[in-house]
Structure 1
């Protein structure tokens, strides 16, 4: 192992660049649908050895070392995000004549931008780089900060954070409850990078022992949480998930809109299995109603006719808000609760819009050079100023998150006792049979674990499922499957941790790894002198 580490440290030029890119791309196998988390035990040691090999020659100067560290981290990130996000280009192919020119920007441009955060991570680590376990802690601190920044800088895009690779199954998801995504990501980098110590032997025993202890605690806490019996809910809810699996190209055709609506109604009206309860709630996906519902009272009447006594429909729809004479209406990506009389009981609008899907950032500049929304609405969607809790006639509250809102941990900040479940409506048909829908589903499951709430997820074609507060799938409809699935669950909240606790614990983890890196750096400097 020492010989291999030495050879990697001495690499230069194209070979060095290729290995950094390869190490990142290999790490993408830790993500859904593969979930081979062990590949990170190869990716991160390779990255550590590449960083070890950056010349410390004083003739080159300190700035050269920082630039080299940035380039190495950027190449690692470019490989990781290119291999993990290539499927984004699929969304541009539904209207290829208009958007095909943007394929390189989606497949290579976005990964190139996201890789900057990993370049920042390795640059910060390089500032306090030492030998032994200290440099592993420095890398963990750098990546922890980078993943946190990635969640909000330029509207944020924390998709495929390293921590998700450490949480492929419910046993390994439970650490997200106290630590959150970013705390798990920080410690995951430390654990995954620890085998690099085999290549230099310095700090080998304490480093591997600490990494082994952290990994054992990760699994042990998961086993402890999963063996706990969830408390009985004060009430139960039977939900019918409707996944029509309608091709996105058809959804974009005006002529097919009535047929799309009819398909939703037909699936919703299917009889329940013998001995099973009737659904209390039927769930349709994001923007499943292909017209402005309030402008079509006949559609509300048809929904009322489909619903049985006491049932409600929770559906995604476009909401229009009149701005007065001479002004174009505002459009919102919304969720409605509709009762069996065809009345809209509750509604909530999307807060965190998708760039270039629902609005164009820096619109005045970017529209001039050809950028537009994938969803054709005059002016795009408008964001809501705040999220509105949906309330069912039974009094149960639903916390609504539309599409990719659920990838943001801070969006799931629910006051205790205010919601009985999270409802996430999405349309992953944009991405076809690619890793995208699987990655999106994993991130939604982690939000359920963090919040300690059941997740009700309805997708046009993605993965529709009811997931319990421990991240386990109660029932669902697979990708590319068409159907209606019923699930009954107790309405409970089981988390002992709230969002503020997770933020505090993340920064405590960051303080611990950063302190270890600084102490090691000071000792390293004293030894050199």
Structure 2
């Protein structure tokens, strides 16, 4: 199909929905739709915009050739990740010591790569002789969610900016313990494109009523599900203190700042020992484990004397073997250790290391030597309570957290979001931790170096939280809970199967003319 015929078919398809615009404008409309979508997520949380972007893209792709679908979806992805994930520039330039030009180039390549991954599934949305709006709705919704799932594991995954996170404050949040964030994303996208087609003057009234009833039913069910208690209380509440030391990232690994760092944790923790648990953030102690033993023994004695459980992040080194882990260790009343299993590319390890390490300073970050821990770990325990632990990036993987939480009473996540600076990244990260609380029906304790440190209730709300970029001690109560939500039992598989069935129905050979 040549460019002219592609343009003509697009005009006809869109006009069939009561809309018309120049084909030259469509890439810019797609870019705009993508740029608006992250505004529905943290920190702005303008959740109605979650319906604008997908609806606009659905209308733009309707009737297009696969080539044009890929092109327009790519432009949408550029807007989505250019606005929502370009904070990686801060890590590359401010802390990776790359020049402004190089940092912009690497950020642009990162955004373009994510946009390409976003576009790949939607390129096939019109590979069917069936162009009835209902079949198209099924295909588009399924491919959108399968694209989010693809981004959660491809090339170790970047599970960021899932549209389901936008609905934390709406009745659709009730679906999270049942279907997880992918299920919420699916209902969000179906709502968006159903509303778009309902606004078309050429959509039949009976179809509009059917779509409206289906969407209303999903929202009503979500509201009902919000009232359900999926887990039960276990024992007495626990008093928790989160120590946020606000160590500047540029000084964290400097030998001259080691003693000031340790002293800051001593001083901030002085009032925290009256709590049951004290939490220090990821890599709070900027030393290798075996070199830090004298300080750890001091903290072990302090925690034991006050009958307190202290958990801190530290880099663990294996004696006689150059293997390092990003770990959390329990002291005092806490026992065990957890080694991080999902690593951050370039931040904790360097892909293609033999070619990239040493090329520029960004590929020589001091923590980019980490090995992943065993997937089957006993982890951390405080008395009879088992903790599900997620270090930094791990909290953004819904199925990983659900699997690790099934026999655990509380979810602990520790992080150092100083890498993201004054960007949207840390607040997006916090929102994903809030969704994990919803999916699992458990409290999430989030201890960070520079904020936001928070105690998150099972309904996803912030019970206590710190400000960013301040020294703080956040104190509050956590109620251990037991029992599995439906999502913890099944993971994302049912949602993916629903998407597969939607695709099968949407790509079926038509039995009758579409009109």
TM-score by length of 2: 0.89
1:94–1:248 CA contact under 8 A, matched in 2: no
Q: 1:169 Cα shift? A: 2.4
Alignment of 1:158-237 (within 5 A): 158-165=159-166, 167-169=167-169, 171-197=171-197, 198-199=199-200, 201-203=202-204, 205-207=206-208, 209-210=210-211, 213-214=214-215, 217-218=218-219, 220-222=221-223, 224-226=225-227, 228=229, 231-237=232-238
**Partner residue in 1 for 2:8:** none
2:230–2:484 CA contact under 8 A, matched in 1: no
Q: Distance in 1 between matches of 2:271 and 2:170?
A: 32
1:150–1:157 CA contact under 8 A, matched in 2: yes
Residues 309 and 270 (structure 1), Cα distance of their counterparts in 2 relative to 1, 3 Å cut: closer
Q: Distance in 2 between matches of 1:235 and 1:450?
A: 22
**Partner residue in 2 for 1:117:** 117
Q: 1:496 Cα shift? A: 3.0
Q: Distance in 2 between matches of 1:100 and 1:183?
A: 39
Alignment of 1:80-119 (within 5 A): 80-95=80-95, 97-98=97-98, 100=100, 102-119=102-119
1:424–1:455 CA contact under 8 A, matched in 2: yes
Alignment of 1:503-514 (within 5 A): 503-514=492-503
Q: 1:350 Cα shift? A: 0.7
How many residue pairs get matched? 500
**Partner residue in 2 for 1:46:** 56
**Partner residue in 1 for 2:317:** 320
Query: Which one of 288, 291, 311 corresponds to residue 287 of structure 2?
Result: 291
Alignment of 1:262-301 (within 5 A): 262-270=263-271, 278-301=274-297
Q: Distance in 2 between matches of 1:479 and 1:3?
A: 51
2:137–2:193 CA contact under 8 A, matched in 1: yes
Point out where structure 2 has 5 or more consecutive residues left out of the alignment.
1-10
TM-superposition CA deviations, 1:124-164 (whole Å, max 9, x none)? 21213613222122110111211111111111111111222
Query: Which one of 383, 386, 398 corresponds to residue 372 of structure 2?
Result: 383
Point out where structure 1 has 5 or more consecutive residues left out of the alignment.
55-64, 273-277
Query: Which one of 36, 40, 61 corresponds to residue 30 of structure 1?
Result: 40
**Partner residue in 2 for 1:310:** 307
1:133–1:207 CA contact under 8 A, matched in 2: no
Q: Distance in 2 between matches of 1:228 and 1:334?
A: 33
Q: Distance in 1 between matches of 2:353 and 2:379?
A: 32
Residues 398 and 203 (structure 1), Cα distance of their counterparts in 2 relative to 1, 3 Å cut: farther
TM-score by length of 1: 0.86
TM-superposition CA deviations, 1:160-191 (whole Å, max 9, x none)? 112222x2327542311111222222222111
**Partner residue in 1 for 2:396:** 407
Give the stretch that moved more between structures: 407-416 or 451-460. Answer: 407-416
**Partner residue in 1 for 2:26:** 16
Q: Distance in 2 between matches of 1:3 and 1:212?
A: 29
Specify the SS of the correspondent of 2:124: helix
Q: Distance in 2 between matches of 1:267 and 1:215?
A: 50
**Partner residue in 2 for 1:70:** 70
CA RMSD after TM alignment: 2.8
1:163–1:182 CA contact under 8 A, matched in 2: yes
Q: 1:122 Cα shift? A: 2.0
Specify the SS of the correspondent of 2:285: coil
Residues 447 and 416 (structure 1), Cα distance of their counterparts in 2 relative to 1, 3 Å cut: closer
Q: 1:374 Cα shift? A: 5.9
Q: List, as ranges, runs of 4+ consecutive aligned residues in structure 1 with deviation greater than 6 Å.
A: none
**Partner residue in 2 for 1:522:** 510
1:240–1:484 CA contact under 8 A, matched in 2: yes
Specify the SS of the correspondent of 1:433: coil
**Partner residue in 2 for 1:356:** 346
Give the stretch that moved more between structures: 291-300 or 314-323. Answer: 291-300
Q: 1:508 Cα shift? A: 3.9
Residues 68 and 76 (structure 1), Cα distance of their counterparts in 2 relative to 1, 3 Å cut: same
Q: 1:387 Cα shift? A: 4.7
Q: Distance in 1 between matches of 2:58 and 2:269?
A: 54
Specify the SS of the correspondent of 1:47: helix
Query: Which one of 355, 366, 375 corresponds to residue 356 of structure 2?
Result: 366
